[in-house]
Every structure is written in C-alpha cells, then in structure tokens.
Structure 1
Amino acid sequence: MHTTTAIQAPSRKINALLWTLQAGLSLLFLFAGGMKFVMSAAELGQGPLPVAFIRFIGVAEVAGALGLVLPGALRIHRELTSLAAAGLAFIMVGATVLTASGGIGAAAFPAVVGVLSAFVALKRWEPVRRAALAQA
C-alpha cells in the first residue's frame, strides 16, 4: 500500500519572510541575468571571465529567478524552489570570490545575497525532507 504525505508548510511568519526573500531575490537575479543578455560582448569582455561564461551565468540566474517563485506560485514541484535557491547561492559563492580581489567591501553584497539564497534553500528544503523521511 502506498501512502502520500503532504509537504507541511513552514509557519505563517517564516512563510511570509521566505516569500518576501524569494520575490526580492527573483527580481535581483532577473535583472542581473537579463543585463548579461542585453550588454554587448565588448562590454562583457572587459572583465576577467570569458563572454560565453558570463552569458551562461546570465541564463542560470534567470532560470534560478524563475525557479524561486514559479513552483510555489503554480503549486507544482515546490521542491524545485530550494534547488533553484541552492544553485543561486552557489553562483554567489563564485561572485564573492571573484569580487573579493577588489576588497572586502566589494564582496559584501554578493556574500549577503548568497547567504539569503542559502537560507531560502534550507528553509524550503526542510518540509520536502520531512515528507521524504515520513514516507521511508
């Protein structure tokens, strides 16, 4: 016999905080990723990374931004939200390392964004993990 266990949502306050973070991060990554499409190759080529890699990061940022909000908004595969947030946190680790050469102040913004993304990933994964353990 196969039983399904519903994914239990976090408390209302945590859920509201998570949705606020997800919306803000989504807008941030939509803008950042979109700019990587709009900017010319000459502008993107001024940095230390290859243009193709920067465009790839732009695709990943836009996909991650959509992954932060669409699964919850559409109520389909909500576990994808935590995976999107984890992927964005991983991107921000790279951004923090890259900008750290410009000083600790330059690295602060991507570090904070990365921590917020990791927080969303962790909090959105907890109910998925609990449901999986309950089924085991």
Structure 2
Amino acid sequence: MNVTLWIVAGVLAAASLFGGISKTFIPKEKLAAAPGGGWTATATVPFVKSLGILELLAALGLILPAALDIAPIMVPITATCWILLMVGAAITHLRHNEPKFIAVNLVYLALAVVIAWGRFGPYAF
C-alpha cells in the first residue's frame, strides 16, 4: 500500500504541477480561451496567479516532505488542502456549466482523499 500511496501522490503532484505552471505562467486571456478555463475570464489576474502558486506548492508538498524526511506530516496536510481546493474548483466549474471538468476535479479530490486517509492513518510515515 505504501507504494500505491507514493504513486497516487506522484500522479496528483504531476497534475498539480501542470495546473500550477499553467495558471502561474500563461496569460489569463489565453487561459480563458482554453477548455475549462472560462472561469478565469471573470477572475482577477492576482487570484489566478495565486491559485497557480498554491498548486505549485501542493506539488512540492505532496512529495518533498516524505522524500526528504523533513516534516512528512505535511504530505497528508497538503492532501487535505488539495481536497478543499478541489471542492472550490468543482463549485466554480458547476457555476460555469462545465460538467466535464467537475468530473476531473472529483477524480483529483478522490486521489487526495486516498493520500490523506493513508498518510494520516494506517500508512503514516
């Protein structure tokens, strides 16, 4: 199960890294034109960039604390924060009538629940 949790954390970290890079470095106008990015049209640039930075930090927080054995409790805490972020993302996509992206958010949310459960519970570091 430990290996499974590492794989799930890696997949979620990769998704977080991709999302963080795009929100942080791609102009808002280009994001708004992309599939699933319609919500950015009504968001401020600082808000979108802040979400991107949070996603970059989440990518680091899902892997580095355990890999470096420095405060490994941060892994399930990061997963819990990711759950909250995905709830907000799903609500945002619901408001913009983007059901396909709600499904993606729910998959990411489920992965984060698995990590939080495993690392807070029976498979803690």
Which range, TM-score by smaller chain?
0.7 to 0.9
Matched ranges for 1:65-76 at <5 A: 65-76=59-70
- The alignment's C-alpha RMSD in Å is 2.0
Quote the Cα distance in structure 1 between the aligned partners of 2:62 and 2:111.
Answer: 12
Identity between Structure 1 and Structure 2 (%):
28
CA change 1:108–1:50 in 2 (3 A) is same
> Is the 8 Å Cα contact of residues 44 and 51 (structure 1) preserved in structure 2?
no
Residue 81 of structure 1 pairs with residue 75 of structure 2:
yes
For residue 127 of structure 1, report the CA deviation from its aligned partner.
5.3
Q: What is the one-letter code of the residue matched to 1:59?
A: I
Structure 2 spans left out of the alignment, 5+ residues? 33-39
Identify the residue that residue 24 of structure 1 maps to in structure 2.
Answer: 11
2:35 matched to 1:48? no
Q: Is the 8 A contact 1:34 1:62 kept in 2?
A: yes
The structural deviation recorded for 1:106 is 3.0
Bigger radius of gyration, 1 or 2?
A: 1
Q: What is the TM-score with the length of structure 2 in the denominator?
A: 0.83
Cα deviation 1:11-46 (Å, max 9, x = unaligned): xxx111100000111111011101112111433565
Q: CA deviation at 1:103?
A: 4.3
| Matches of 2:106 and 2:7, distance apart in 1 | 19
